Amino acid sequence: MSDITFGIKMNPEMKAELLELIKSHEVTSKEFIAMLLESYKLEKSREISHFDYTDIDELQRLLKRIQKLYLNLHDKAEVILVEHKNLYQTNISAKTTTIEEKNNLIKNLEFQLLAKEEIIAEQNGKIIEINKNIEKLEQRCTKYNDITAETTIQLKKERLLSSKLEEEIINLQKNITQTEHLTIELEQCKLANQGLISKQEEQSSDMWFLRRENEKLKDQLTSLQIQHKTELTNLTQQYELQTKNTILEQKLEFNSRLELIKEEHTIIIEALNKKLDN
């Protein structure tokens, strides 16, 4: 069956006392009313029944004892509850302090993490710059390697030149020795030349006469060359005239022969035409 609401009128003192009893027994109003009904029924049955009053007194005494035990248990339970509440509060306060410490530690760790992230970002920037510098250094190394290769080639060329220069120096040293020998020979030649100069001075007079005769011969040669040129021009003119005359004679002879051949050709053609007509 479903529960229904039941209300009664009473003075405030009775209401307060009733509420205090309900609160002291830690039961609901419904349960307290049920207990009152049970006790009322018990008293009513006691009045009606003819049991021995000693048994009822004993039962009441036991009931009071049970109630005292219940109250003692209730008091102990309240004390234990208070102790548990205090212990729980201490545990809660300790846990709250530990939680606050952990929260502070988490915040500190977050700050440290942010700081480390900033440091990592800076390190990444530095790493990027280092990589760029490494690329630049690699480019410089490649350029340096190219330069070293060129320098090695130049060194090889210079070594070849130095070897050639050494050979030339050796040749120059040989030439110097030869020049020394030649200077000695030149001095000897100078001495011989002085003797020849003395002889040449003696022969210079003879050479003067020979030069005079040579000049005379040159004059005669020039006159002969002029005569030869004049004769050559005359001969060339005569040859040209002769060639022109011969060419004209050949042309006339060729033309006369050509006329004869034409006449013979016409005669032959006329004879053939006559034969064809017949």
> Is residue 50 over pLDDT 60?
no
Burial class (CB in 10 A: 0-12, 13-18, 19+), 35: middle
Burial class (CB in 10 A: 0-12, 13-18, 19+), 7: exposed
pLDDT digits (tens, 9 = 90+) for 1-37: 567 777 778 888 888 888 888 887 777 888 888 888 8
Residue 254 has what pLDDT? 77
In a domain, 161, yes or no: no
How far apart, in Å, are the Cα atoms of 175 and each of 180, 182, 183, 186, 189? 8, 10, 12, 15, 19
Enter the pTM of the model: 0.27
pLDDT digits (tens, 9 = 90+) for 115-153: 888 888 887 878 888 778 778 777 876 776 777 777 778
Q: Could you tell me the two tokens for 173?
A: 């040293």
Q: Compute the average pLDDT of residues 193-201.
A: 70
Residues 226 and 229: their CA atoms lie apart, in Å, by: 5
pLDDT digits (tens, 9 = 90+) for 70-95: 778 877 877 888 887 788 788 777 77
In a domain, 78, yes or no: no
Q: Are 192 and 200 in contact (CB under 8 A)?
A: no
In a domain, 206, yes or no: no
In a domain, 124, yes or no: no
How many Å is the Cα radius of gyration of the chain? Answer: 81
In a domain, 24, yes or no: yes
In a domain, 44, yes or no: yes
CA 107 to chain centre: 42
Structural domain including 42 reads: 8-50
Counted domains in the chain: 1
In a domain, 188, yes or no: no
In a domain, 37, yes or no: yes
Residue 83 has what pLDDT? 82
Dihedral pair phi/psi, residue 98, rounded to 5°: -65, -40
